[in-house]
Amino acid sequence: MAGCKPQASPAGAGKKIKVAIDPVTRIEGHLKVEVEVKDGVVADAKIFGGMFRGFEQILIGRDPRDATQITQRICGVCPTAHANASALALDDAFNVKLTDNGRIARNLILGANYLQSHILHFYHLAALDYVNGPDVAPFIPRYAKNDVRVPKDINDVAVGQYLEALEMRKICHEMVALLGGKMPHVQGVVVGGTTEIPTREALNAYAKRFKIVKKFVMEKYVPIVYLLAGPYGDLLKTGGGYKNCVSWGVFPMDNKGNTLLKRGVFTDGKDAKVDPALIKEYVKYSYFDNATTGLNPSKGQTKPDPNKKGAYSFIKAPRYNGRPHEGGPLARMWVTNPELSKIGQEKLGVKNLRDIGDAAFSILGRHVARAEETAMVADAVEQWLSEAKPGKETFVPAPIPNSAEGLGMTEAPRGALLHYVDIKDKKIANYQITSATIWNANPMDDMGQRGPMEQALIGVPVPDPENPVNVGRLIRSFDP
């Protein structure tokens, strides 16, 4: 079998070699990466977002309530996150306060999909960068020299877990469906709460499934991530990037704005409170009209220009306070800084996530943060299950306002998610979405700063440009 051939070509004089991977696979969507390798490491990087659908234009003129349904179709892996962001924006615009049971039901729907998404990501999207699948399609072809370093017995265990994880993520979706109707794309999350009041029977069915998933997370998923840190220890030292984090906060624990995963930003070594006014989206290198650059989402416009000279991505470049920031489990966990799981504390010899230090900002560090977050969400699901009240109202009806604005800020499994809605004459006049992967996979901004994923690629070792394994590893550590 021929090995994976990236499109490598010598670039003029010197020892610079250009390597392109297109498509980058085992992600959601269409992405290309191009890196320049010098002396065995990445010296420059570009990430190309290759697809545009135009949700923001499609939403204009529609019934605002339809946004929770339409926007879920942005991502089939994390539709519940878009449903929540949209519902939060509409809750704000409709000026409706949720019941406790409504808040908890939303958490149980979103929480089950967090478990699903993180399990899917580690095993089915990322793991084939570290272990070999069986020698049949779709597990072959693969890179001729794919740098798999685990011994055969561990590889077999991992492949067994890959198959078991397929079942686990399916069970997570059953949990979502019990309260959300079906999955992907739930019916249950709407402005004003959720549509189905949980019965004792439904909560028991959810709990029964959750127990199986939690056992898998604690006994298999979290341990195997730490197991990889042995043979792949060097991947804890590369892929750091800017080390800036955004987290809008997710899973409201009360009606006062306290969230399980905290809201905050971390910029150039300092923590700060979130001010939505400091978010701006730049488009100099994106296929959008230059006149729309540097706008806050509340003033945002989406005017595609697919033939724009100098542009290379359909992704806008959002910046917080003018600086690129990464989003996702690592950013949330860094901002929250919780105690690690028992296994994590044992393996790393530290107590809290930030005690890991700079190594957290690395290819493997992002996987560790994701696994630790999965354990943390699982603990919280247990709490919400005990708090959910069978038969108690989850939905507060509210009329469509004639004219109102709404802002919904939450977290998708893969990063910070913002929905903004402007309602006029009971219809959507403007809708802007700054989604998770847009924070990570964006191109250079007007000020000349690379996107976070591009920056994180700088310095990543590519000893063999014919088999640029670490490039894919870095990209997938962000779960785009």
Partner 1 sequence: MKDEQQLLDKQQQKAGVSRRNFLKTVTGTAAGIGISQMFNPALVKALEKALETHPVIWIQGQGCTGCSVSLLNTAEPSIADVLLKVISLQFHPTVMASEGATALENMYKIAEAYKGKFSLAIEGAIPTAADGKYCIVGELHHKEITMVDVVKDLGAKAGSVLSIGTCAAYGGIPAAEGNVTGATGVMDFFKANGIKTPTVNLPGCPPHPDWIVGSIAHLLTKGVPELDENGRPVVFYGENIHDNCPRLEEYDAGELSGKLSDAKGCRMDLGCKGPDTYADCYKRKWNSSMNWCVDNAVCIGCVEPGFPDASSPFYEPA
- 415-474 residues in contact with partner 1 (CB under 8 A) are 472
Least Å from the CB of residue 51 to partner 1: 5
Least Å from the CB of residue 241 to partner 1: 21
- Alpha helix segments (H runs only) across 349-396: 363-387
Identify the residue among 12, 13, 14, 51 touching partner 1 (CB under 8 A).
51
CA-based torsion, 377, 382, 384, 388: positive or negative: positive
CB 300 within 8 A of CB 281: yes
Footprint (CB under 8 A) of partner 1, residues 134-163: 134-143, 159-160, 163
Q: In this complex, which beta carbon is closest to partner 1, that of residue 35 or of residue 260?
A: 35
- With CB under 8 A, what is the number of residues at the site for partner 1? 97
> By CB under 8 A, which span of 191-199, 270-278, 350-358, 369-377 interacts with partner 1?
191-199
Using alpha carbons, list the distances in angstroms from residue 436 to 29, 34, 69, 400. Answer: 13, 21, 18, 28
Least Å from the CB of residue 217 to partner 1: 18
60 binds partner 1 (CB under 8 A): yes
Identify the residue among 16, 41, 43, 133 touching partner 1 (CB under 8 A).
133
Using alpha carbons, list the distances in angstroms from residue 28 to 24, 76, 120, 440, 442. Answer: 10, 8, 12, 13, 15
Identify the residue among 17, 28, 158, 420 touching partner 1 (CB under 8 A).
28
Footprint (CB under 8 A) of partner 1, residues 61-100: 61-63, 65-66, 69-70, 73-77, 79
The span from the CA of 422 to the CA of 85, in Å, is 14
Footprint (CB under 8 A) of partner 1, residues 159-188: 159-160, 163, 166-167, 169-170, 173-174, 176-178, 180-188
**SS3 state at 72:** helix
Secondary structure (DSSP) of 138-167: TS-S--TT----S-HHHHHHHHHHHHHHHH
The span from the CA of 393 to the CA of 21, in Å, is 50
The span from the CA of 120 to the CA of 189, in Å, is 22
Least Å from the CB of residue 267 to partner 1: 31
Q: Which of 268, 244, 215, 465 is CA-nearest to residue 335?
A: 244
Contact track, partner 1, 215-234, x by CB under 8 A: --------------------
Q: In this complex, which beta carbon is closest to partner 1, that of residue 26 or of residue 237?
A: 26
Residues 6+ apart with CB under 8 A from 333: 261, 353, 360, 369, 372, 373, 376
> By CB under 8 A, which span of 1-9, 229-237, 368-376, 401-409 interacts with partner 1?
1-9
Q: In this complex, which beta carbon is closest to partner 1, that of residue 23 or of residue 40?
A: 23
Q: What is the number of other CB atoms lying within 10 angstroms of the CB of residue 56?
A: 18
Q: In this complex, which beta carbon is closest to partner 1, that of residue 162 or of residue 420?
A: 162
Identify the residue among 128, 279, 283, 330 touching partner 1 (CB under 8 A).
128
Least Å from the CB of residue 95 to partner 1: 18
Respond yes or no on whether the N-terminal peptide bond of residue 23 is cis (omega within 30° of 0): yes
Identify the residue among 9, 255, 383, 403 touching partner 1 (CB under 8 A).
9
Secondary structure (DSSP) of 280-321: EEE-TTBTB-GGGTTB-GGG----B-TT-TT--BSS-EEEET
Footprint (CB under 8 A) of partner 1, residues 343-372: none
Identify the residue among 22, 387, 405, 446 touching partner 1 (CB under 8 A).
22
CB 203 within 8 A of CB 210: no
Identify the residue among 27, 90, 317, 364 touching partner 1 (CB under 8 A).
27
Identify the residue among 16, 38, 124, 389 touching partner 1 (CB under 8 A).
124
The two structure tokens encoding residue 332: 């949330």
Footprint (CB under 8 A) of partner 1, residues 387-416: 393-395, 397
The span from the CA of 441 to the CA of 46, in Å, is 9
Q: In this complex, which beta carbon is closest to partner 1, that of residue 172 or of residue 279?
A: 172
- Alpha helix segments (H runs only) across 75-151: 79-94, 100-119
Identify the residue among 10, 25, 357, 379 touching partner 1 (CB under 8 A).
25
Q: In this complex, which beta carbon is closest to partner 1, that of residue 333 or of residue 469?
A: 469
Q: What is the number of other CB atoms lying within 10 angstroms of the CB of residue 414?
A: 28
**SS3 state at 194:** strand
Least Å from the CB of residue 54 to partner 1: 5
Distance of CA 17 to the CA centre of its chain: 31
Least Å from the CB of residue 243 to partner 1: 27
Bridge partners of 151, per DSSP, are none
Least Å from the CB of residue 345 to partner 1: 33
Least Å from the CB of residue 348 to partner 1: 30
Using alpha carbons, list the distances in angstroms from residue 137 to 1, 25, 27. Answer: 12, 14, 18
Least Å from the CB of residue 238 to partner 1: 19
CB 161 within 8 A of CB 220: yes
Footprint (CB under 8 A) of partner 1, residues 279-318: 304, 306-307, 314
